[in-house]
Amino acid sequence: MEISQASIENLIHSYIIPYGLNLLFGIVIFFIGRLIVSTLVKLVSRLLTRAKLDEILVEFVLGIISSVLMLFVIIAAVGQLGVDTTSLVALIGAAGLAIGLSLQSSLQNFASGVMLIVFRPFTSGDFVEVAGISGVVEKITIFSTQLRTGDNKALIVPNGKIYGDVITNFSAKPTRRVDMVFGIGYDDDIKKAKLLIQKVLDEDPRILKEPASLVAVSELADSSVNFAVRPWVNSADYWGVYFDTHEKIKLLFDAENISIPYPQMDVHLNKTDA
């Protein structure tokens, strides 16, 4: 069956030209829209960089802006082809709701990650205690935070657990107080022991002169007289001073015949005639 010239012309004018133009305009809309989105993302990137926001947060915000704007561009381009965009938007909204409900815990970690990056209760390199775990912060991402423990284990902690609990940042301040307790026997000389403890603190150059160190009797315990020893040090010297002070005081007490008692119980037996 031969197709007449009129039928071909009618086909061209009725279908090919209109749909071809719509397709062309849709492609033009897509590429121009993508160019505009790229320009806007670069502009926002400059503004956020000048605001000195965290790099992770900047990348995340740029990713969201780019994705949302490109979604509008795609909807506009598809709409030019004659597709009902109202149904498409409703479908995308329903899909987004379903995904949000299925990823509720992940969204909580995501929201907590944003808060951690914005308010910055700690940064990489800080020694912190979060969610009952202590370690050095190595990396902060949108969904989790990586810590390095003292024995060099890597721990990945969900941000939801971190932001929903108490955060202790041991590196937030330049100085820290070292809290120690030393006990001596009830028969030992308290004044002499106090002078010896103070001598150990005074001879350690890592211990700060201001604020002054505290050496005081804190408790008359069951088996010992306890001294509260509280020197101030730079945060980086905390553990070195802590360990060295215990060793030096033990050696000095031994040399000066001052006892460090251990818990004990005296048992008295009463003998009675049968």
Q: What is the CATH number of the domain that holds 77?
A: 1.10.287.1260
Q: Determine, yes or no, domain membership for 150.
A: yes
Query: Phi, psi at residue 209, to the nearest 5°?
Result: -80, -30
116 burial (CB, 10 Å; 0-12 / 13-18 / 19+) is: buried
Residue 269: what pLDDT?
77
Q: Determine, yes or no, domain membership for 229.
A: yes
Residue 10: what pLDDT?
60
Q: Determine, yes or no, domain membership for 29.
A: yes
Residue 244: what pLDDT?
96
Residue with tokens 């090919």: 16
Residue 37: what pLDDT?
87
In sequence order, the 6+-apart residues with CB closer than 8 A to the CB of 227 are 181, 182, 183, 184, 193, 194, 197, 215, 216, 217, 218
**Count of domains in the chain?**
3
153 & 181 share domain: no
Query: CA 185 to CA 187: how far, in whole Å?
Result: 5
88 & 147 share domain: no
Q: Determine, yes or no, domain membership for 159.
A: yes
pTM over 0.75: no
Domain extent for 180: 175-255
Q: Determine, yes or no, domain membership for 271.
A: no
What CATH code is carried by the domain that includes residue 162? Answer: 2.30.30.60
Of 102, 135, 152, which closes a domain?
A: 102
Written as six digits, the tokens of 103 are 């990823």
163 & 209 share domain: no
Q: Kind and range of the H or E element at 201?
A: helix 190-202
152 & 184 share domain: no
139 & 184 share domain: no
Q: Determine, yes or no, domain membership for 273.
A: no
pLDDT tens digit at each of 274 positions of the chain: 455 666 656 655 555 666 767 777 778 888 888 898 888 888 888 887 787 766 666 776 777 788 888 888 888 777 777 666 666 666 667 666 665 555 556 677 878 887 887 788 888 889 999 988 899 999 888 788 999 998 899 999 998 889 888 999 998 899 999 999 999 999 999 999 999 999 999 999 999 999 999 999 999 998 899 999 999 999 989 999 999 999 999 999 999 999 988 776 667 777 776 5
Q: Determine, yes or no, domain membership for 263.
A: no
Nearest to 233 by CA among 248, 212, 219: 212
Of 136, 169, 202, which closes a domain?
A: 169
For the chain, what is the largest distance between any 2 Cα atoms, rounded to a whole number of angstroms?
Answer: 138
